[in-house]
Structure 1
Amino acid sequence: MSKTSNAADRRGLTDAQRNAVAELMRVSPIADELGRRFTKAGYELHLVGGSVRDALLGRLGDDLDFTTDAHPDDILRVLKGWAESTWETGREFGTIGAQRHGMRLEITTFRSEAYDGVTRNPVVRFGDNLLDDLRRRDFTVNAMAVSLPDHRFTDPYGGLDDLAARRIRTPGTPQESFGDDPLRMLRAARFAAQLRFTVDPDVVAAMTSMAADLDRITVERIRDEFTKLLSGADPVAGLRLLVDTGLAVRFLPELPGLKLAIDEHAQHKDVYEHTLTVVSNAVRLEGGAEADFVLRMAALMHDIGKPATKAVGPDNRVSFHHHEVVGARMTKLRMKELRYPKDVTSDVVKLVALHLRFYGYGRGEWTDSAVRRYVADAGDLLPRLHKLTRSDCTTRNRRKAAQLASDYDTLEARIAQIQADEDLARVRPDLDGNAIMELLGVPPGPIVGRAWRHLKEIRLEHGPLDRDEAEAELLRWARDEGVI
């Protein structure tokens, strides 16, 4: 039976939430405009899914989702002359996209999609009514609709109750929902991270028993859903759910694998718990309005090399020598398998490789040359490396934590001082390639590259040279190498 928004008074929703849909219609007249066009053409139109959910949560964006009994060709005819632009990239799934007055609209034919249990792509079947369309949606909080232009509110599966309780349930049985699209299991964990919702125990049980079904989903869809999870407001909640249900082992086995490695400081339950703490710290430190996926992914992967490098010494102390090197290699392989872009992978891998570099600093071993190399190796990633290194300090020993923070404060101040003198962010040899070729009388080729790298090493070791000093060093090197 359909429930109306009048029932919201007894569901604990605030006035702002109860009025959210009406406010949506007021500030987004294009929804009513579009509804009138579909009605005039003899079709239904309903605002659905995340648009209704987000309106009720007071977080509606510039994207609106609609469903209709019109088929794609019919949708295009209704949009003609009204939409500023249209696109058909989702046509095979019954979806037509449009834009008007800065709003992006997606209009999808009523449908019922199911997997055959073998292939990775859904078989799309068009439906003919709103209630059946809502039943095939992933979760009850996404199975509510506002009809246009009359603003009738439809909630056949108790989505409003679940929204008030901040709970994730499925319209039908979880087994039915996840059988239709196994990616929904990963999406449940994403909502736990993104919306800070609790996943219903029956849903968790189904995620656990059906985890292997995730193997039917393309790696690109898994990657995109995982990226949204890690970029959520509380990624740790989603990560725990992935591990506890066995979903993580299907595409990111290194994460549950961390439970096998005991932290060498004996201050944490295990490296897994330490890693989740580092992710939380990174979220707290990242700043800015948007999530920093590269920083968060580096925090998640920074210690994945520990299980492979674990060793127990004669004194029974556990060590993980060179785990940052092994971890960087493992991170590269895993992100390649998940088909992340090369530049994103490269940045995460570099941060993992560098995350331990700081820990020799507090012993007073760093020369100005070491500081220059730290900055040069980090390059544009230096601000993220600062945050990752600080996030990695999870000791419960307050005096040790304070000392590490103080040491890093000192390092940042030292970097700033040398930066002011030497422009560390752009460390380059004191002679460029043209000057090298002119001075040595050589054409472009390997000799120029070798000379350039030598001068950069000198620059890192000793700081800037003036022109005469740089030329003298180049000539000395050329003589030693038999170039001249």
Structure 2
Amino acid sequence: MANEFQGGPADSVGFELDPVILELGQLFQDAGHELSLVGGPVRDLFLGRESLDLDFTTDATPDRTVAVIKPWADTYWEIGKAFGTIGLRKAGFQIEITTYRAESYDPESRKPAVAFGTSLKDDLFRRDFTINAMALRLPGLQLVDPFGGLKDLRAGILATPGRAEDSFSDDPLRMMRAARFASQLDVRVSADVLAAMTDMAERITIISAERVRDELVKLINGARPRVGVDLLVETGLADRMLPEVSALRLEADEHHRHKDVYQHSLQVLEQAAALETGDDGAVPGPDFVLRFAALLHDIGKPSTRRFENGGAVSFRHHDVVGAKLAAKRMKTLRFDNDTIKAVARLVELHMRFYGYGDAGWTDSAVRRYVTDAGPLLERLHRLTRSDVTTRNRRKAERLAFAYDDLESRVTELQEREVLDSVRPDLDGQRIMELLGLKPSPVVGRAYKHLLELRMEHGPLDPERAEAELLAWWADQPESRAEEAGPHGDGADARPDTDDADPSREDS
């Protein structure tokens, strides 16, 4: 039966703990050691959030911890033993138990020099923020909160146990964690934390790209990503790790001839997140690819901005430029190739829809839209809709109506045709048989011609497809060279090579 902890007179929050937690606490107490649930899991208990990853701290050395948990755990590992951490799994919970620590840092290094401590209060003091510097002693369920973390949590304030400058000097990644918590937990940073983040932003450059990337993903996937991104930009942290977003704050001209691209991008991010669907929907949230593409969709504008005659402002080809900038930045942050390609492709395609409402599209254009988007189509739908931030209601309604119409046409075509993987009506093997060719670039050209016909007219029956291919072939120089015979010009027009075989169906 689960026990319930009720704080002191000032604490009206109660919660239940899983028996696994209490059982582990009893094991350590019986062995003569202290054990406390600590950090994020304690914070989440007060927020009513469930956590399957549990962090504990103890006065036991790593070797003593192994001796206590070895007979009880489903499995355990000692990968973090040098840092005082033993990991284990029990009844579906992932658990880490760390010996009290008193760390010191080399100011020029991102790696702490670990020294084991003997005091729970000292261990809590070294933690990043007061809301994470609370502990629950086990198995007696006594709340240990020496730095007012519960008070700060209720007030929605992010503060540090000691001086913010000392905390961020010890581990500069904590500055990004502050922005991430602002996004995830709907808290605001205290004045001294904000000042320290601003003054010390340059120190983020000593942190590995992988750690920065992981914090950025958590921030973007938070409940209020706009707040977190704005904090990165305001403090100058974004200048060091996401400068393309900072650059969106285009210098406002005195005549206000263009909208605020930075605030527009934040609004698009916010609107895209709101269009995510549930776990069983087309784009389950939080979806990092959609959200990050929404944030970056206009990063090509600063370098493509031009002031035209008459005072107009243009950003020609900012979609293509932005896609390249997005890919380059994500590579620097060590994102995987699939994520990079997906985000960059959405940035590249985000302007494709505009013009549909003015002139309409042929079925061919709709097919191209679907096939170019491929598996990103549902995300592209949401990104395009999110990109409408105008305050002109009539314009917003017109764009929404036009996109409703486009989606309806996409659905109708998908019901008649398989658009997700459009291919020519003849495969490479059949092309070679009909034209008497071996694998060569000519086959690739023929394949591309048939694909264009498929896009333009939809599915063709085999007889018409073959007739169209033969008609195309009659106009090709290679066909005329064959007719000229072995002594004519270009008699050897069919290279016998397998290099870059374009005749495969997956070309």
Identify the match of residue 329 of structure 1 among 324, 330, 346.
324
Identify the match of residue 356 of structure 1 among 328, 351, 359.
351
Identify the match of residue 126 of structure 1 among 101, 109, 116.
116
Over 3 Å counting, the alpha-carbon distance change for 1:267 and 1:378 in structure 2 is farther
Amino acid at match of 1:30: V
Per-residue deviation at 1:444?
A: 4.5
1:68-467 equivalences in 2 (<5 Å): 68-260=58-250, 270-289=260-279, 290-444=285-439, 446-467=441-462
The equivalent residue for 2:464 is 469
- 2-structure distance, mates of 1:268, 1:203: 34
CA contact (8 A) 2:226 2:270 kept: yes
More moved, 198-207 vs 421-430: 421-430
More moved, 324-333 vs 98-107: 98-107
- 1-structure distance, mates of 2:466, 2:81: 64
- Structure 2: give runs of 5+ residues left out of the alignment: 280-284, 483-507
- 1:51 partnered with 2:41: yes
Over 3 Å counting, the alpha-carbon distance change for 1:357 and 1:269 in structure 2 is closer
Post-superposition CA distance 1:423-446 (Å, at most 9, x none): 212211112233334434444454
Secondary structure of 2:97's match? strand
Amino acid at match of 2:305: K
Over 3 Å counting, the alpha-carbon distance change for 1:267 and 1:5 in structure 2 is farther
The equivalent residue for 2:19 is 29
Per-residue deviation at 1:416?
A: 1.0
Amino acid at match of 2:158: I
- 2-structure distance, mates of 1:267, 1:400: 18
Over 3 Å counting, the alpha-carbon distance change for 1:332 and 1:262 in structure 2 is farther
CA contact (8 A) 1:88 1:95 kept: yes
- 2-structure distance, mates of 1:118, 1:109: 25
- 2-structure distance, mates of 1:453, 1:266: 47
Secondary structure of 1:426's match? coil
The answer to which structure, 1 or 2, has the higher relative contact order (CA under 8 A, 6+ apart) is 1
- 1:64 partnered with 2:54: yes
More moved, 442-451 vs 110-119: 442-451
Paired positions, count: 469
- 2-structure distance, mates of 1:268, 1:29: 60
Per-residue deviation at 1:131?
A: 0.8
CA contact (8 A) 1:84 1:98 kept: yes
- Structure 1: give runs of 5+ residues left out of the alignment: none
Secondary structure of 1:429's match? coil
Post-superposition CA distance 1:125-149 (Å, at most 9, x none): 2222211110000000100101111
- 1-structure distance, mates of 2:86, 2:443: 56
Over 3 Å counting, the alpha-carbon distance change for 1:297 and 1:167 in structure 2 is same
Amino acid at match of 1:370: A
CA contact (8 A) 2:257 2:313 kept: no
More moved, 269-278 vs 344-353: 269-278
CA contact (8 A) 1:268 1:274 kept: no
Per-residue deviation at 1:120?
A: 2.5
Over 3 Å counting, the alpha-carbon distance change for 1:148 and 1:6 in structure 2 is closer
| Larger proportion of helix | 1
- The TM-score normalised by the length of structure 1 is 0.93
Aligned-pair identity in percent equals 57
Identify the match of residue 41 of structure 1 among 31, 35, 58.
31
Identify the match of residue 475 of structure 2 among 475, 480, 483.
480
- 2-structure distance, mates of 1:138, 1:58: 21
Per-residue deviation at 1:216?
A: 1.3
Please identify the structure whose Cα radius of gyration is greater. Answer: 2
More moved, 456-465 vs 324-333: 456-465
Secondary structure of 1:193's match? helix
- The TM-score normalised by the length of structure 2 is 0.89
Amino acid at match of 1:241: L
Over 3 Å counting, the alpha-carbon distance change for 1:358 and 1:79 in structure 2 is same
